[in-house]
Structure 1
């Protein structure tokens, strides 16, 4: 595995350099000297590696131009060999047909989707919705509405006619609120004192309601009434009363005296407290803790936390708007809750669209407007590239007569299939089988309740988005390089696994031979064996130190520790490379105790047993190192074959020195 990590590390460090210019085909010599960047530094088969390509790969492998500039010419020349070997292995993998393996193609397809799909959705789905939401958030709209719910999912015509009759009455001058309290099916329309009474919802902002409602709310001018429109709740008529700027969230503290007290006395108390606060004799937090009758905020020094100004009662909203700086304290202000002092403790500046995007996307994720936008984008792609579906074949597979029937029988379709799966749909030049459609149903949320028509739309929409993501990955240079690098990495992994790693691990005779030839290199170093007791605190270990001091008996210490749930014991082998906390054991005498000692968040008590001299490793002990060494030998053998097979030439003399080695001007 260490060998695998080193090889893949080299791959991905150079990945973008590889993808930028890999595979430059050798051409016939032309007149005129090539620029230094176009000069070949290596050649194999029908491919050349140019200096520009190597430079790009080296910069990526080094971690950027500055790090590359600090490298030596010797390092750069070594990289030429490493890079060339990487390219040879990838070429050999392609020549062996590894890029045609279904598993490899599936992995590359999945990676391409992972990289391109988020960009597609941001630009085509989330981006436009987020931009609209961001711009609309600057205004809050005061609205009323009337809701007429259909009596059932099949009886919508009656509700539609009722809503139109109410709209006609509004047009004839009957007050909107009177019609709402008499006719609206909204929950609070008839409940005095609740938000929504007489249809009045108050000020709303983008993102708080369903999109059809929001669209009309922002499209109407104050005083205008909408036409009849439908949402998932039923039919609506909407009236806009007012618009106002939507303030940014603020942090607010208050000191409250309840209205049941003498209002004049409460006013005098708060006014005197404000004077003390402004003069510095008393802090706002101290005053709130001592005098505020809002128990919840009083314990926090009056802090209300983050507050949306438009959510405040009108009198408080007006007062807060007049606080011109953080730290300002208001005069006494009345609300239906009582008498207040207010302190502005923080004010947020409006974020830019890019700064707000992640939060906007989170708010949009899973919302009906997002699902609808995604479906609209997918349908546009389907119309652009062409899509067909064999509904008769899908109905027959699902054993239903209508596409409005549930597709549930398709969940077991593969269990009854005999022979090749018949085709069911096409998109562009791709053909999909009934089995693929059935598998899509299995992966759908609520798939058992999906109709055949719904399944067809969901399947084709998903394939359309995949198609668009693939097309984007092919046309976007950065995405194309990223996918090419991943594909080359996948091919390298498969080639090395098949030709080196697996071969080395299974070559028992070769491993034994490598072990015999390098026996002197496989050594167990000098070690000190010791007993280690660990516990959460040194106080837990001190009794064991005392016990050993009096008994000098390791078995006695072990017997005592076995019954102690706070103490764990094990045998440790301390070498010159062990952590510092163990090294004191190396200089102690056999039988000596050390500690308790602190180690991270626990304590350690050590008893030295004996010194173990160096010795040769047995084959089983050295196996992991032997396998790695044998892999190195096999890899060098493979590279020699590849260099000969592809007729490799290198031109290290054409390498320019990195910046740090370049001569400086006098």
Structure 2
């Protein structure tokens, strides 16, 4: 195993450049449509009450959070802005209060809908808050620094036996004892370490930065938290056992975008190459083009044709002397002094530098990497262990072992059936929450695919039971913790309140506004009479549309001339027979300047006008005839129904809000409200 290769994919044996790869009901929509709300309501006990609706309080923190979240950069906390939003939020709470009084929250279908939302959110929320968020924050703190480390590795295969694992442990402990009694780290690394790069570097990896490669999270954690210049370990990772020394830490260098010119040293021509490179450096100082010189002289075949362009690289990609010289260049466009590496002399041009970005910028990239890293499962396991510790986890090994011993070969086949009468024996408990053997056998029935995949003979059955039991426990631990989310996480409690109020608001508005607007025919007619004349047609034309297949295009002029003087019925009678239909005909009405087809746009807007011919994708030719020009007129209710219904909904909602204001007492604490104003 070449452990250093994890960190250092290119060590100047050749200047090979590696380029990175580029790498339900819509509830919140309902809230947005209703009162412009976006964001999570976070209220805390003891906050001052800003207003109440029918005695139900709304805290100043709740309102302040929603106001700032919804308005973003426009949240100026002026009296006008706050008054407008207070009015919106009071209307929202009035509607929610009405929904509660209508007992919509007791409707089974809505309760199940809310439960469904909760199931979807809870698992992801729990993982995000207790695992992902912590790992991302930890990773962001770590990428602020580079760490200079040396290590010794005694590898342990993933499928190593207990004896092999113990042998590896004893080997690393022997090495540690030798180091503790004055042995040379470099010498012992070369003789003991399974990292083949130790033969070259004596175990000194150099500066590295988080995130460490997959499987090395434990080593990364010690590298970022351990004391300097002490022998640390052994540290167990997926690679094996490590002894670690941390030499120093420094602010992270980030990434450099650069180009270079390389002249190789060979056959003792060091002085001549250095002289040639010094001359080239002076030429660049006199204004020569770096990219052109790289194309003409650079001996790095991979980059010469690209003007020497390397691209972006971070630390420990290239030889330290090259890296140090590149990161020492202060300004974009500047060129380094002549730099000597193991393969020759370089001139380096800085193109740009990418430092560590603010957390919100780095967060998405870190989340993506962490989700694919074994550290995620390590942290999840730690979370599950925490749940056990905090909730007095107790299990009955006797009940599980008895069950396991009773299972035969059929357990890992489709023939296995759970007992008809589930056992009530307690398998494990968390505080007062008990899980029975019957719960486990029911789960085994549902998890049949997982059970069948384990396969094997009778010798595998008990191990399979134990493995499946571990999965079952983890699932139940997650379920238990999810029941505690509202208590443990105020943000989740607020989120579920928003979902609950959103569902209630949707149903109440649907019942009292939307459905009524669409179904109350008499009320809609009366409302239309009050706004008659609001919706009008502009100039319109009743149009005949004739379509002729291109194979009959020689008849088109004759057809057009006849159509210009005759009715559609006469045109069809003349050219179509039951055996041969030459013409297709449709009639449309178009409104001027709105939905007119292109061939009609330039035609004269009067009866009898024929448009130009229009080719279609169906290999036909189409032309239009204006039969009748109709002047502007008021739209009938049927013609304007969609618009009228929308207006009627707005009207009903305004009426509804006024009724709610009369039905429920709204009390605003003006002193608290004034404290929010920042004019």
TM class, shorter-length: 0.5 to 0.7
1:348 aligns with 2:348: no
Q: Is this contact kept in 1: 2:135–2:370, CA < 8 A?
A: no
Rounded Cα–Cα distance in structure 2 between residues aligned with 1:53 and 1:175: 61
Rounded Cα–Cα distance in structure 1 between residues aligned with 2:65 and 2:256: 50
Query: Equivalent residue for 1:584?
Result: 601
Query: Equivalent residue for 1:153?
Result: 161
Q: Deviation of residue 315 (structure 1)?
A: 3.5
Q: Is this contact kept in 2: 1:51–1:655, CA < 8 A?
A: no
Alignment of 1:19-34 (within 5 A): none
1:648 aligns with 2:667: no
Q: Over residues 579-633 of structure 1, what are the superposed CA-to-partner deviations in whole Å (9 max), with x where a residue is unaligned?
A: 6985836854555446999xxxxxxx995444676898898x9997898799899
Q: Cα gap change, 1:201/1:424 in structure 2, threshold over 3 Å: closer, same or farther?
A: same
Please, which of 209, 212, 222 is the counterpart of residue 208 of structure 1? 212
Q: Is this contact kept in 1: 2:338–2:346, CA < 8 A?
A: yes
Alignment of 1:255-294 (within 5 A): 255-260=261-266, 263-280=270-287, 282-294=288-300
Q: Deviation of residue 417 (structure 1)?
A: 6.7
Q: Is this contact kept in 2: 1:93–1:491, CA < 8 A?
A: no
Q: Over residues 117-152 of structure 1, what are the superposed CA-to-partner deviations in whole Å (9 max), with x where a residue is unaligned?
A: 533335655434553x336x3322133434365984
Rounded Cα–Cα distance in structure 1 between residues aligned with 2:247 and 2:83: 72
Rounded Cα–Cα distance in structure 2 between residues aligned with 1:241 and 1:516: 82
Q: The residue matched to 1:155 in structure 2 has which SS?
A: helix
Q: Deviation of residue 487 (structure 1)?
A: 0.8
Query: Equivalent residue for 1:238?
Result: 243
| Structure 1 length-normalised TM | 0.65
Please, which of 501, 506, 517 is the counterpart of residue 488 of structure 1? 501
Q: Cα gap change, 1:453/1:69 in structure 2, threshold over 3 Å: closer, same or farther?
A: farther
Rounded Cα–Cα distance in structure 2 between residues aligned with 1:55 and 1:214: 43
Q: The residue matched to 1:232 in structure 2 has which SS?
A: coil
Alignment of 1:154-233 (within 5 A): 154-156=162-164, 157-165=166-174, 167=176, 185-186=194-195, 189=196, 200=203, 202-203=205-206, 204-209=208-213, 210-215=216-221, 225-233=231-239
Q: The residue matched to 1:251 in structure 2 has which SS?
A: strand
Q: Cα gap change, 1:50/1:494 in structure 2, threshold over 3 Å: closer, same or farther?
A: closer
1:312 aligns with 2:318: yes
Q: Cα gap change, 1:144/1:161 in structure 2, threshold over 3 Å: closer, same or farther?
A: closer
Q: Cα gap change, 1:291/1:297 in structure 2, threshold over 3 Å: closer, same or farther?
A: same
Q: Over residues 151-210 of structure 1, what are the superposed CA-to-partner deviations in whole Å (9 max), with x where a residue is unaligned?
A: 842433344444445555666777666666666555xx3xxxx67658636224443251
| Structure 2 length-normalised TM | 0.64
Q: Cα gap change, 1:108/1:335 in structure 2, threshold over 3 Å: closer, same or farther?
A: closer
Query: Equivalent residue for 1:302?
Result: 308
Alignment of 1:170-569 (within 5 A): 185-186=194-195, 189=196, 200=203, 202-203=205-206, 204-209=208-213, 210-215=216-221, 225-234=231-240, 236-238=241-243, 240=245, 242-243=247-248, 245=250, 247-260=253-266, 263-280=270-287, 282-320=288-326, 322-351=328-357, 356-389=362-395, 418=420, 425-431=428-434, 433-434=439-440, 437-438=443-444, 448=454, 451-461=464-474, 463-464=476-477, 468=481, 471=484, 473-474=486-487, 478-494=491-507, 526=540, 552=560
Q: The residue matched to 1:330 in structure 2 has which SS?
A: coil
Q: Cα gap change, 1:60/1:457 in structure 2, threshold over 3 Å: closer, same or farther?
A: same
Q: Is this contact kept in 2: 1:327–1:343, CA < 8 A?
A: yes
Q: Cα gap change, 1:14/1:91 in structure 2, threshold over 3 Å: closer, same or farther?
A: farther
Q: Deviation of residue 370 (structure 1)?
A: 3.1
Q: Over residues 385-430 of structure 1, what are the superposed CA-to-partner deviations in whole Å (9 max), with x where a residue is unaligned?
A: 233446666678778669xx99966x998x7575779675543444
Q: The residue matched to 1:296 in structure 2 has which SS?
A: coil
Rounded Cα–Cα distance in structure 2 between residues aligned with 1:79 and 1:160: 64
Q: Answer with 372-381 or 204-213: which moved more.
A: 204-213
Alignment of 1:123-142 (within 5 A): 124-128=134-138, 130-131=140-141, 133-134=142-143, 137-142=145-150
Q: Is this contact kept in 2: 1:3–1:628, CA < 8 A?
A: no
Rounded Cα–Cα distance in structure 1 between residues aligned with 2:592 and 2:274: 77
Q: Is this contact kept in 2: 1:54–1:80, CA < 8 A?
A: no
Q: Cα gap change, 1:501/1:183 in structure 2, threshold over 3 Å: closer, same or farther?
A: same
Rounded Cα–Cα distance in structure 1 between residues aligned with 2:394 and 2:63: 48
Q: The residue matched to 1:267 in structure 2 has which SS?
A: helix
Structure 1, unmatched stretches of 5+, are 25-34, 534-543, 556-569, 598-604
Q: Deviation of residue 17 (structure 1)?
A: 11
Q: The residue matched to 2:94 in structure 1 has which SS?
A: helix
Q: The residue matched to 2:386 in structure 1 has which SS?
A: helix
Rounded Cα–Cα distance in structure 2 between residues aligned with 1:134 and 1:608: 69
Q: Is this contact kept in 2: 1:385–1:427, CA < 8 A?
A: yes
Q: Is this contact kept in 1: 2:254–2:314, CA < 8 A?
A: yes
Q: Deviation of residue 55 (structure 1)?
A: 8.1
Q: Deviation of residue 115 (structure 1)?
A: 5.1
Q: Deviation of residue 484 (structure 1)?
A: 1.2
Q: How well do the aligned residues superpose, as a CA RMSD in angstroms?
A: 6.2
